[in-house]
Structure 1
């Protein structure tokens, strides 16, 4: 069934960094594979997508906002979340708003396509492919717990992905446990 895809292995691996019962934003959530994952872990979830039909299949899961985040205003001004998830989506003008949406003690889990992907499939337009180190630079105000930039098989794709946290206010040496097996 479409919409029942498993959550990203990257998101699953680093979901433990979202504080217990913390709020989670899934930006460009599509059919909600990560909303379902985090709701199943007991997190209040907010999903944002421009596709009303995709959101319709998520009714009752959490807060759902239909918004064109590329051509309209940021739909969550001033709001912060304990977890912010973005996968397979890139709109560079939103990177600062996405990073600012991470609450103190919260985590950004971001995974999308990188340069090189044009050699194996779509997306292939430079507008939708991160340059080397671009995601690291966008998250400069956060503490990077994990970062990868490279090639993955099945399906073949080039990706960049990051797990980055905003340290809690007043904590000098916060502990962000690495994932099991990591």
Structure 2
């Protein structure tokens, strides 16, 4: 099993109590990490074999193709929606669920494959690593609770010098992740854009951002002083 990303480990403690979405979870390294911290976790991936390895205590798995037609492909699906607007009018539909609880699922511990994992204002935390599909970004932000936290880390332009991914479609432009977060109405707690040598040489962008009512004192910046 792969080790937890140092970026995810660094920011996971600031995620408030409640349900966490591990998007494109792979074999579930981060799903297990958040479950160990006491969160209910929805782990989503399109690979059934990987999901079988991700399953565990406190983790509900859902096989879902995040790039399918179900997610929408028209221009309107790619427009950033500020989280303030996205979380208004939550008095009806699935968003009335108590924070931290998922919609009903079957007894096997797997979520229904025909339902999108995105629900406005649902998640206390969302974690995404080594995955980029730009049309999903607005839905990610809208699915955060107003006090929720997004932790994101993936490859950036320049990574082609070190291997895959090398397709520009899967590489972030300079500052792109930061720009997307701001366009979606998130407050940025931390952002990095550059070279990393571990776990292998790569160009990456890393972001931790939060909703508009996240208590700023909960960012726990002092606990990271040893990293600088």
Q: TM-score, normalised by structure 2?
A: 0.73
Tell me how far apart the structure 1 counterparts of residues 15 and 135 of structure 2 sit (CA, whole Å).
25
Which residue is equivalent to 1:34? 30
The answer for the alignment partner of 1:65 in structure 2 is 62
- Separation of aligned partners in 2, 1:5 and 1:130: 23
Please report how far the alpha carbon of residue 60 of structure 1 lies from its aligned counterpart in structure 2 after TM superposition: 3.6
Task: Check the 8 A contact 2:118/2:140 in 1, yes or no.
Answer: no
SS at match of 1:106: strand
Higher share of residues assigned strand: 1
* Residue number among 113, 117, 120 corresponding to 1:76 in the alignment: 117
Of stretches 59-68 and 7-16 in structure 1, the one that deviates more from structure 2 is 59-68
- Structure 2: unaligned runs, 5 residues or longer: 72-115
Structure 1 residues 65-74 or 86-95, which shifts more? 65-74
Contact in 2 for aligned 1:150/1:160 (Cα 8 Å) = yes
Deviation (angstroms), 1:179? 5.6
Bigger Rg, structure 1 or 2: 2
In structure 2, distance between residues paired with 1:179 and 1:112: 25
Superposition map of 1:147-166 within 5 A: 147-154=191-198, 155-166=200-211
Q: Which runs of 5+ in 1 are unaligned?
A: none
**C-alpha RMSD over aligned residues:** 1.5
Q: Matches of 1:120 and 1:162 in 2, distance apart? A: 21
Is the 8 Å Cα contact of residues 26 and 54 (structure 2) preserved in structure 1? Answer: no
Partner of 1:10: 7
Distance 2:127 2:55 in 1: 19
Aligned to 1:117: 159
Is 1:177 equivalent to 2:220 in the alignment? yes
Which residue pairs with 1:127 in the alignment?
169
The Cα offsets for residues 18-66 of structure 1, whole Å up to 9 and x where unpaired, read as 01x3211000000000000000111100011000111112334322110
- Once residues 77 and 111 of structure 1 are traced to their aligned partners in structure 2, the CA distance between those partners, rounded to angstroms, is 19
Equivalenced residue count is 175
In the alignment, which residue of structure 2 is the partner of 1:85? 127
Deviation >6 Å, runs of 4+: none
